[in-house]
Amino acid sequence: DGIICLGKFSKSHIETLKKYNDAIILLDMDYENLKECSIVLDFDLTLKQALTYLTDLGHQKIGYLGGVEYLDDGQAYDDIRKKSFIKYAKEYQIEYEDYMIEGEFTSESGYAMMSNMIQSHHLPTALFDPIAMGAMKALNDYGFHIPDDISIIGFDNIDASNYTYPPLTTFYAPAFDMGQFGARLLHQAIKDHTKLLPMRIQLPCYLVERESCQAL
């Protein structure tokens, strides 16, 4: 009766799915000029809040560790977090160019990227890292102390964030609410025999302060 697409799909794949059923909702896919109903997290505001928070603590050398996702057609998906990080880093006149590394969205990749950065002897004073667990382990293994040597902000506020050492400052991403809202919208459209309007709904993320960041 309807389709919920969770994850990253190419535009051609979406068009193929619409041939089966045009009652379709896209979750966590942030494309320009979409003609479908999509529900996404407000990554742009998240990065603005993250860099505002760190610059208010006195940080001017801020790094970014991220992952690259690929669509079914082999094209790399543009992560809004990376684009927004660069935009606000330029706006706030932050040093960032030498502190950006991308790999995969895994803890192992986060560990490897952080290890490479440490071995380059060129570290920022703070870091935004959507895959922070691996980076934190690498820093601990190399004898660095968080947040005395480097502050870290993570993303997603998974349960393990409470049990890292130190507890991780992170952004809560309302992924459950995004799925629930999408299911309700689709169910209501099917129930009422109405067509889903093309719309883009953004859900905000919230900063959860713990102990992995401090002022310079």
Give me the tens of pLDDT residue by residue for the chain, a chain 216 residues long: 999 999 889 889 999 999 999 899 999 988 777 789 999 999 999 999 999 999 999 999 999 999 998 888 888 888 889 999 999 999 999 999 999 999 998 889 999 999 999 999 999 999 999 889 899 999 999 999 999 999 999 987 666 666 688 999 999 999 999 999 999 999 999 999 999 988 999 999 999 999 999 999
Looking up tokens 């102990």 gives 211
Query: In the structure, how many helices (H) and strands (E) does the chain have?
Result: 6, 12
In sequence order, the 6+-apart residues with CB closer than 8 A to the CB of 24 are 2, 3, 4, 5, 14, 17, 18, 36, 37, 196
Residue 145: predicted pLDDT: 96
Residue 33: predicted pLDDT: 72
Q: Is the peptide bond before 174 cis (omega within 30 degrees of 0)?
A: no
Say if CB 156 and CB 81 are below 8 A apart.
no
pTM of the model: 0.91
Residue 159: predicted pLDDT: 61
- What length is written for the chain? 216
Residue 160: predicted pLDDT: 65
